[in-house]
A and B are shown apart, each in its own frame.
Chain A
Amino acid sequence: MTATSTTPRTEIRPRRTGFVHDTVSIARRAIRQLPRDIAFIGPTLFIPLFFLVINVASLSEAAAFVDLGITYEEFQLPVAIVFAVTGVTRAGAMVLDIQNGYFDRLMTTPVSRRALLLGHMVADFVLVVALSVPVMILGFFMGARFDTGLLGVLVFVLIGALWGLGYTGIPYAIALKTGNPGAVNSSFIIFFPFAFLTTAYLPAENLSGWLSTVSTYNPVTYVLGGLRSLFTGWDAAELGKALLATLALAAFTQTLSLLALRGRTSPK
Chain B
Amino acid sequence: MRGLRREHRDDLVGARVHHADAADDDGRDCLVAVGEGTHDRCVGRVLPDVVFRHRDAGVLERAVESSTEAAAGAPVELDGVDRGSRHGALQSRRGMRSSVGMPTHQASQRFPNATFPFAARLAAMSTPHAAAVKTEGLRRTFGDFTAVDGIDLEVRPGEIYGFLGPNGAGKSTVVRMLTTLLEPTGGRAWVGGLDVVAEADDVRFSIGVALQEAGLDENMTGREILATQGRLFGLSRSEIADRIEQLAPILEMRALDQLVSSYSGGMARRLDLAAALMHNPSVLFLDEPTTGLDPPSRLRVWEEVRRLNREFGLTLFLTTQYLEEADELADRVGIINAGRIVAEGTPGELKRAIGTDVVTVVVDDGDADAAKSVLEGIDGLDGVDVFGDEVRVGTENGSQALSPVAIALGSAGIAVRELSLRTPTLDDVFLDVTGTHLDAGSSAEGSST
Binding site for B on A (CB under 8 A): 1, 3-5, 7-17, 21-22, 25, 28-29, 32-33, 36-37, 93, 96-97, 100-111, 266-268
B182 to A, closest residue via Cβ: A267
Which B residues between 229 and 263 are near A, CB-CB below 8 angstroms?
Answer: 229, 231-235, 239, 242-243, 245-246, 259
Q: Is B40 an interface residue (CB 8 A)?
A: yes
* Docked complex Cα distance between A209 and B207 (Å): 63
Q: Which residues of A contact B211 (CB under 8 A)?
A: 101, 104-105
Query: Would you call A108 and B207 a contact (CB within 8 A)?
Result: yes
Contacts of A4 in B (CB 8 A): 18, 34, 39-40, 310-311
Our pick among A3, A16, A28, A100 for the contact of B213 (Cβ within 8 Å) is A100
* Contact between B224 and A32, CB atoms less than 8 A apart: yes
Q: Does B421 contact A (CB under 8 A)?
A: no
Q: How far is the CB of A96 from chain B (nearest CB, A)?
A: 7
Asked if B183 is at the interface (CB within 8 A of a chain A CB), the reply is yes
Closest to A112 in B: B232
- Map CB proximity to A onto B169-196 as digits: 1 under 8 Å, 0 otherwise: 0000000000111110000000000000
A14 lies within 8 A of B205 (CB): yes
Question: B104: shortest Cβ distance to chain A, in Å?
Answer: 23
Q: Is B219's beta carbon under 8 Å from chain A?
A: yes
For the complex formed, measure the closest distance between the CB of B24 and the CB atoms of chain A, giving whole angstroms.
18
Q: Does B35 touch A at the CB level, under 8 Å?
A: yes
Instruction: Check B215–A102 contact: CB distance below 8 A.
Output: yes
Which B residues between 9 and 61 are near A, CB-CB below 8 angstroms?
14, 16, 18, 34-36, 39-40, 55-56, 59
Q: Chain A contacts of B216 at CB under 8 A? A: 100-102, 105
> Do B16 and A100 have beta carbons less than 8 Å apart?
no
A16-B92 Cα distance, complex, nearest whole Å: 10
Binding site for A on B (CB under 8 A): 14, 16, 18, 34-36, 39-40, 55-56, 59, 93-94, 179-183, 197, 200-201, 204-205, 207, 209, 211, 213-220, 224, 228-229, 231-235, 239, 242-243, 245-246, 259, 275, 279-280, 307, 310-312
Q: Which residue of B lies closest to A109 (CB)?
A: B232
Q: Give CA–CA (A232, B14) in the complex, Å.
A: 70
Is A14 in contact with B220, judged by CB distance below 8 angstroms? no
- Give 14 pairs: A residue, B residue, CB < 8 Å, sorted on A: A3-B307, A4-B18, A7-B312, A10-B242, A12-B243, A15-B94, A17-B233, A21-B231, A29-B228, A101-B216, A107-B180, A107-B181, A108-B207, A109-B232
Q: How far is the CB of B177 from chain A (nearest CB, A)?
A: 8
A265–B124 Cα gap in the complex (Å)? 32
When C-beta atoms are compared, the residue in chain B nearest to A11 turns out to be: B59
A111 to chain B, nearest CB (A): 5
Q: How far is the CA of A93 from the CA of B217 in the complex (A)?
A: 9
Nearest CB of chain A from residue B161's CB, rounded to whole Å: 18
Please determine whether B311 and A268 come into contact, CB atoms closer than 8 angstroms: no
B278 to chain A, nearest CB (A): 8
Given the known interface contacts A105-B209, A108-B209, A267-B200, the answer about A100 and B239 at a Cβ–Cβ threshold of 8 Å is no
